[in-house]
Amino acid sequence: MNLEEIIERIKLGDEMHLEERARLLMEIGGYGVGGIELGIISPGGKIENPEEYKKAALKGVIGELWHDSCICYINHRFRACVILLACLVEAVLSLEIVKKREVTARNLTLGGLISYCQKNKMVPRNVIKAAKEVNDLRKIAVHLKIEREEPEKVFEHSDLDEIVPLKTFRKPPVTIHKNGSISGDDVLVTFGIGGSGIVYKFKKAAMNAYKVVKVVLRSLYGLRFNQ
């Protein structure tokens, strides 16, 4: 395909998935601060030493990871969304440790950071609980636990998936023709007694991750969200 053909294909796909993406964006709070944009964690001061650089870098990446996870959610890349939100929690706990000048814990990854923060009471209990929930979802996503341990659910639907009836949409991202053929791409369709629907693999997992990450960000930084 040449450049013009690719551009037209992208336009067609964008138009087909427009309502779908708008609905997904609504679920995470829409545009602006409190939705796809994260509020300011804390005012930035003058950077004069390596510790301040590290704090600034971690604050910046927290906002970046939030935005990127939202983009993944809108484009129904829910597994990637969970992984990015787990990265965000790791950045948050790392920031709290740097703020308290705890040298011994700086090279820990998420599981170790959670244990360290819990043992040393560095963050509130509800933050620890939320971080553990995100880490559990991360393990399922990264280590392919469903695919490796419960493969039959890949071809059915697990508790982490969500099915949205096609009749939900004014303009569905897929068309089912009278002869049974399907027009559309990047969509998994299921047929049942109640009608046809779109299967969003890992969508419930992503929404659960969002909910608990918001607990972390509200508790530590007083951030507000639209949803």
Work out how many domains the chain is built from and give that number.
1
Domain for residue 58, yes or no? yes
CB atoms < 10 A from the CB of 155, how many?
6
pLDDT of residue 55: 87
Give pLDDT tens digits for 158-174.
Answer: 899 999 999 999 998 88
pLDDT of residue 185: 75
Q: For the chain, which ranges sit under pLDDT 50? A: none
Domain for residue 166, yes or no? no
Domain for residue 144, yes or no? yes
pTM attached to this predicted model: 0.92
Write out the DSSP string of the chain.
--HHHHHHHHHHHHHHTHHHHHHHHHHTT-SSBTTTB---SS------SHHHHHHHHHHHHHHHHHHHHHHHHHTT-HHHHHHHHHHHHHHHHHHHHHHTT-GGGTT--HHHHHHHHHHTT-S-HHHHHHHHHHHHHHHHHHTTHHHHH-THHHHS--TT-EEEEGGG-SS-SSEE-TTS-EE-SS--EEEETTEEEEEETTHHHHHHHHHHHHHHHHHHH------
pLDDT of residue 5: 95
Domain for residue 19, yes or no? no
Domain for residue 172, yes or no? no
Task: Give residue 70's domain range.
Answer: 31-152+201-221
Domain for residue 102, yes or no? yes
